[in-house]
Amino acid sequence: MPLTEIGRYSLRRLEILDENGEVDPALEPDLSAEDLVKLYRAMLLAREDDQRMFKMQRQGRVGTFGPNTGQEAAVCGPALALSPRDWLVGSFRELGARLMRGEPLTHSYLFHNGYEEGNVFDGMERTLPISIIVGAQTLHAVGIAYAMKYRTEKDAAVLAFIGDGGTSQGDFHEALNFASVWQVPVVFVVQNNGWAISLPRSRQAHCATLAQRAIAYDIPGVQVDGNDALATYSAAREALDRARSGGGPSLIEAVTYRLMMHTTADDPRKYRTEEEVEQWWKRDPIPRFRRYLESKSIWDDAKQAALEAGIKEEIDEAVKKFESMDGFKPDAPFDHVFGTRHESIEEQRAAFLANLEGEA
């Protein structure tokens, strides 16, 4: 009765654009200048919008939110690989990807100011709203992918995001297993930003990488430099292409870093050092991408200035529009409890409206 080796596994890491903006020509994706600028703009918009929301939060003009600063490459790269026929299933730290899917800037202000209206926009059909229950959305993604397979939808797949902390949830493991058993077109991107609130990645999971979770579920897995937008794009592109052509699910671990607080209610000084944060600012995904564009002679200072001015104007206008919005229907929650009317709800609506008058 011999002891035999029955499996041997390996894992790869992808880096294309280094911290200085030097590209590996052998791995450089074939993206048009137009797409490259689109990606750069998306990252910068996400960064600037974050910074504006942060200011607004501190001034009490929006509520608690979780900044995506530092993670723009991890979300915008994969989002660039999406077609309108694909689904985006996010959690709560993918502002850049949401904007790329056509969500108006005003909507994250609305959402974070306590209005469901922030979840609703034209063209949202294949973009699920923010999912706050950590991990749950990965199972929804698998179900959507199953429906696509069942309907024999061609050339479409689901892109699902989750955080490093989220990989500890049973839901995440169930999602990988279901996706693998069903061989459905879904790509999971783990944004490993080093922290789940105060818990460092090393204490979230004992394993050296999160990409290796793929091995146990027998799906392709890869780790990428999550601050390298070319790597996140390329890995997602490859995985989505495989999914769209019937090749089943994949897992991508994007190693990135949350440069700001978990949410505006959090104080990271309690659990991490300034030095660590500074180290990661040196790996900021945005300046390196700009240097890459410059090295390809598709970018210069004048274009940068124009882009910054354009983004500022876009955000200014969105803020103005958001702050002039009013007339939120007070009894809207009664409209959407069920798809059918029931007298018990309608009686309560009437009581609610009468009470509103009583308060006035």
Ligand X SMILES: Cc1ncc(C[n+]2csc(CCOP(=O)(O)OP(=O)(O)O)c2C)c(N)n1
Q: Kindly list the catalytic residues.
A: 258, 262, 271
Least distance to other proteins from the beta carbon of 196, Å? 5
Please identify which residue in 16, 134, 145, 222 interacts with other proteins, judged by CB under 8 A: 134
Pick one of Mg ion, ligand X, other proteins, none as the site partner of residue 208 (Cβ within 5 to 8 A by kind): none
**Which two tokens mark 164?**
């490093």
Instruction: Find where tokens 């105060």 sit.
Output: 198
**Is position 195 an interface residue for ligand X (rule: CB under 6 A)?**
yes
Q: Which of residues 240-279 bind ligand X (CB under 6 A)?
A: 258, 262
CA distances to 158, 207, 256, 315 from 88, in Å: 6, 28, 20, 23
Nearest approach in angstroms of CB 287 to other proteins is: 31
Q: Are 57 and 65 in contact (CB under 8 A)?
A: yes
Q: Is 163 in the site for Mg ion (CB under 5 A)?
A: yes
Residue 116 near which of ligand X, Mg ion, other proteins, none (CB within 5-8 Å, type-dependent)? other proteins
Q: Does 97 bind ligand X (CB under 6 A)?
A: no
Residue 63 binds to other proteins (criterion: CB under 8 A):
yes
Separation of alpha carbons 218 and 233, rounded Å = 23
Say which amino acid occupies 194: G
- Binding-site member from 27, 265, 306, 309 for other proteins (CB under 8 A): 265
Q: Whose CB is nearest to ligand X?
A: 163
Give the 3-state secondary structure of residue 294: helix
> Cα Rg for the chain, rounded, in angstroms?
22
Place of tokens 């959507």: 144
**Contact characters 189-208, Mg ion, x per CB under 5 A:** ----x--x------------
Q: Which stretch binds other proteins (CB under 8 A): 4-12, 36-44, 243-251, 333-341?
A: 333-341
State the Cα angle at 133 between 182 and 211, rounded to 5°: 50
Six token digits for residue 130? 């923010």
51: tokens are 């910074």
